[in-house]
Amino acid sequence: MPGWSCLVTGAGGFLGQRIVHLLVQEKDLEEVRVLDKVFRPETREEFFNLQTKTKVTVLEGDILDAQYLRRACQGISVVIHTAAVIDVLGFIPRHTILDVNLKGTQNLLEACVQASVPAFIYTSSFDVAGPNSYKEIVLNGHEEEQRESTWPDAYPYSKKMAEKAVIAANGRRLKDGGTLHTCALRPMYIYGEKSPFIYVRMIKALKNNGILKSAGKFSTANPVYVGNVAWAHILATKGLRDPKKSPSIQGQFYYISDDTPHQSYDDLNYTVSKKWGLRLDSSWSPPLPMLYWLAFLLETVSFLLRPIYNYRPPFNRHLVTMSNCVFTFSYKKAQRDLGYKPLFSWEEAREKTSQWIGSLVEQHKGTLNTKSQ
């Protein structure tokens, strides 16, 4: 597979950056184009300072600009599409989420057809499979079960419809007469250094005397380390470009997990931060059914107030369900078709995440010291 090129959308994000770091280690990669709407100055600098012979081209542009996307795709061999708006609380307007997550994906698929890009890998989410009820129990689920989210909330709906568009686009005729081959990866909840979700939780805990507020104590999840999700994208890229492997991957979706033990979201947050003195909230919390109906009540209040006031509830039924159910998936299909095996062990992932949290604790201490002087 001589000299090829890759476009990564959402390249400034938590996962996108990790994918780029692994991509530039590929010997035959001539160019990687990193695309995002806006790059933070430190991210831009990081890309410029990558130790690699691969050409790194930084592109700032909107995924809703079809003409821009077509230019960005010219001469590209593979598109890895990670760009998305993640919002499970409804803080971002529904039309914005649908525009970026669904319309943006459709725009990018069309740009691939027009620019004759033969391979497209989509970063989906386990959220497209549910859970649809907090009573639902899925342990080591697999792709053949054909689970589908029924939530009307903008995020799961937009990701589900975008994934369907990607899978449906497999086999489309390209402008140069070639064929578009697509696949989708469904990572579990992604953790690791620079996780925006963990960052918010840790900063709140540090401001709250080291007490971690509950993120879902009733759940059984199989979180996945960001480095392993990035590695799965590299393997999918190689697989779709390999004439022998490609036929079994085309038009498929894959759950991406790793060997992180099954645990609650609360236990994960505690495990990676306890070394630094953080601890779980021991105060009373309502039973799960009560929490669910309280969320329903808050959503109703929000709906009734909408004509006069934009009330945003602190949680909703989708979040309560997702954060408190038994919902885990196996990576056996990815292992079989993509040759996927986790690049990082649970011990390594835990240690790397914990060290990063340690740096946040030090920064917080520094901030407190500055304020007290």
Residue ranges making up the domain that contains 44: 4-194+223-259+328-345
Omega within 30 of 0 (cis) for the link into 41: no
At 2 the pLDDT is: 62
pTM (2 decimals)?
0.96
Catalytic residue numbers read 155
Q: Please indicate, yes or no, if residue 236 is contained in any of the structural domains.
A: yes
Q: Please indicate, yes or no, if residue 283 is contained in any of the structural domains.
A: no
The secondary structure of the chain in percent helix, strand, coil, rounded to multiples of 5, reads 45, 15, 35
CATH number, domain containing residue 55: 3.40.50.720
Q: Please indicate, yes or no, if residue 53 is contained in any of the structural domains.
A: yes
Q: Please indicate, yes or no, if residue 158 is contained in any of the structural domains.
A: yes
Q: Please indicate, yes or no, if residue 360 is contained in any of the structural domains.
A: no
At 373 the pLDDT is: 47
Asked if residue 155 lies in contact with residue 87, where contact means CB atoms within 8 angstroms, the answer is: yes
Q: Please indicate, yes or no, if residue 369 is contained in any of the structural domains.
A: no
Q: Per-residue confidence of the chain (373 residues) as pLDDT tens digits?
A: 568 999 999 999 999 999 999 999 998 999 999 999 999 999 999 999 998 999 999 999 999 999 999 999 999 999 999 999 999 888 899 999 999 999 999 999 999 999 999 999 999 999 999 999 999 999 999 999 989 999 999 999 999 999 999 999 999 999 999 999 999 999 999 999 999 999 999 999 999 999 999 988 899 999 999 999 999 999 999 999 999 999 999 999 999 999 999 999 999 999 999 999 999 999 888 999 999 999 999 999 999 999 999 899 999 999 999 999 999 999 999 999 999 999 999 999 999 999 999 999 999 887 655 554 4
Residue 253 Ramachandran class (φ > 0 left, ψ -120 to 50 alpha, else beta): beta
Q: Please indicate, yes or no, if residue 69 is contained in any of the structural domains.
A: yes
Q: Please indicate, yes or no, if residue 267 is contained in any of the structural domains.
A: no
Asked if residue 20 lies in contact with residue 35, where contact means CB atoms within 8 angstroms, the answer is: no
Report which of 118, 248, 246 is spatially closest to residue 178, judged by C-alpha positions. Answer: 118
Structurally, the chain folds into a number of domains equal to 1
